[in-house]
């Protein structure tokens, strides 16, 4: 329930922001352009944090010889050690926690954007997949009524009649001469084949498929459906995948029908009766879903993508972290990375491998739309890191960090 609520308001919030780019016809490109703009807007804060952290670490590296002298002289006197250390920091106008505030602010904003965008894009994906089905159902009903020359209010009864005939035929076919017990799933599958095999239903399915291809489908380059993962999963979901991705059994569309059926039960109905009604309602929705989308499911049963975004998300995230942490520094006589000198090197290396693995998990389990955000965000982070490093190196050449030479204290007992 909490995840659903978070997904709802974040989807509304980020949906409105991404909607500012609605002049772009493709959701995939909208998300890419939105991510680039968002990263550019946040880049000054990121640069400021890098600048402050770099200056702080370099200053501490310069102070290390003086700190070592203090440690040597007052190592056995903790009170004097702290006092002389603070005196040195004060004289040099150095605050060892000076960069923490900027870092925490940048981290808080980054986490807020990532977490809310994660839930937001998940909520948007749920809504879009549900909208896709609703559009197809609308097209199906209109064409079904036209083909069979009936009113749309008569569709349910006509479907029930055709389905009963198909189900009886399937049951008879499969049970005749069967050496093993025929399952309900086998009968259902065969009945569905018979149901859509007529010329009339083929005409309806072709019309629905045309609507999906021309008006409903949201593709991007090699990805057939951006609301599905860029993996070997089908471009259009079967019923169980649809229910899972859209959280359909919590939707108003489903609960309204279920509640109406449950309210029709006599007072004092047992849990068993209520469960039977629930099962019947779920089966009716599954049946309708297959009636509407079976042609689309068959057409788009192959891979939705080729894991390209999954691989890119891991590789670019790794490269971005490597660049950010100075992993490509190869120049001779270069100072040791102050962060490593402070004992953070191992943690950084661990994150360099952990985050790409997490990106793989995210992009495999969620929509290609979210994977596009991950890849674009990581690519922009890498580019901004390279630019920031060049700018900061230029600043360092002009402004060298040194220790105060005047009034150098004597560290005597």
Q: Where are the domains of the chain?
A: 2-122+307-398, 148-218, 239-299
Sign (positive/negative) of CA torsion 183, 186, 187, 188?
positive
CA distance 130 to 242: 8
Residue 366 near residue 375 (C-beta atoms within 8 A): no
CA distance 370 to 365: 10
pLDDT at position 332 is 39
* Helix ranges, 264-330 (H): 271-299, 308-324
Closest to 380 (Cα-Cα) out of 339, 327, 324 = 324
Q: Is 190 left (phi over 0), alpha (psi -120 to 50) or beta?
A: alpha
Residue 334 token pair: 């270069």
Residue 10 near residue 120 (C-beta atoms within 8 A): yes
Residue 251 token pair: 């939707």
- Residue 302: count of CB within 10 angstroms of its CB: 9
Closest to 214 (Cα-Cα) out of 134, 127, 297, 136 = 136
Residue 275 neighbours by CB under 8 Å, 6+ apart: none
* Helix ranges, 26-77 (H): 27-74
Residue 211 token pair: 């609507």
- Please state whether the predicted TM-score (pTM) of the whole model is above 0.85: no
Q: pLDDT of the chain along its 413 residues, tens only?
A: 444 555 567 888 888 888 889 899 899 999 999 999 999 999 888 888 777 777 777 777 777 777 787 777 777 777 777 777 777 777 766 666 666 777 788 888 888 988 888 889 988 999 999 999 999 999 999 999 999 999 999 999 999 999 999 999 999 999 887 778 889 999 999 999 999 999 999 999 999 999 999 999 999 999 999 999 999 999 999 999 999 999 999 989 999 999 999 998 888 889 999 999 999 999 999 999 999 999 999 999 999 999 999 999 999 989 888 877 664 454 433 444 444 444 455 777 788 888 899 999 989 989 999 999 999 999 998 898 888 888 888 877 776 555 554 445 554 44
Residue 34 near residue 56 (C-beta atoms within 8 A): no
Burial of 383 (0-12, 13-18, 19+ CB in 10 A): middle
Residue 385 near residue 324 (C-beta atoms within 8 A): yes
Locate tokens 């250390």: which residue? 85
């Amino acid at each position: 329930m909490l995840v659903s609520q978070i997904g709802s308001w974040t989807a509304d919030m980020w949906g409105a922001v991404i909607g500012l780019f609605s002049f772009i016809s493709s959701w995939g490109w909208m998300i890419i352009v939105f991510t680039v703009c968002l990263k550019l807007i946040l880049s000054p804060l990121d640069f400021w944090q890098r600048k402050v952290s770099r200056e702080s670490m370099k200053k501490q590296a310069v102070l290390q010889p003086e700190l070592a002298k203090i440690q040597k002289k007052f190592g056995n006197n903790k009170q004097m050690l702290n006092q002389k250390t603070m005196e040195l920091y004060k004289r040099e106008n150095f605050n060892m926690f000076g960069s923490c505030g900027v870092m925490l602010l940048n981290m808080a904003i980054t986490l807020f954007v990532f977490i809310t965008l994660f839930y937001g894009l998940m909520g948007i994906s749920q809504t879009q997949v549900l909208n896709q089905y609703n559009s197809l159902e609308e097209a199906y009903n209109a064409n079904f009524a036209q083909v069979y020359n009936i009113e749309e209010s008569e569709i349910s009864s006509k479907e029930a009649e055709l389905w009963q005939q198909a189900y009886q035929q399937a049951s008879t076919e499969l049970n005749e001469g069967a050496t093993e017990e025929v399952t309900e799933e086998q009968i259902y599958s065969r009945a569905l084949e018979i149901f859509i095999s007529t010329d009339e239903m083929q005409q309806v399915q072709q019309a629905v498929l045309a609507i999906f291809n021309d008006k409903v489908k949201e593709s991007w380059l090699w990805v057939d459906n951006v609301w599905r993962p860029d993996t070997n999963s089908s471009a259009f979901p079967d019923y169980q995948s649809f229910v899972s991705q859209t959280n359909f059994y919590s939707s108003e569309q489903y609960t309204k029908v279920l509640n109406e059926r449950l309210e029709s039960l006599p007072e004092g109905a047992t849990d068993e009766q209520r469960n039977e009604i629930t099962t019947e309602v779920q089966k009716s929705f599954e049946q309708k879903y297959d009636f509407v989308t079976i042609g689309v499911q068959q057409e788009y049963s192959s891979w939705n993508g080729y894991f390209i975004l999954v691989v890119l998300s891991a590789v670019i995230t790794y490269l971005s972290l490597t660049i950010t942490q100075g992993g490509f520094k190869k120049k001779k006589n270069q100072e040791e990375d102050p962060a490593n000198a402070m004992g953070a090197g191992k943690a950084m290396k661990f994150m360099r491998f952990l985050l790409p693995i997490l990106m793989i998990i995210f992009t495999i389990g969620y929509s290609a739309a979210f994977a596009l955000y991950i890849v674009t965000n990581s690519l922009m982070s890498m580019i901004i890191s390279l630019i920031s490093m060049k700018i900061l190196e230029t600043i360092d050449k002009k402004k060298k960090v040194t220790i105060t030479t005047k009034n150098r204290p004597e560290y005597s007992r």
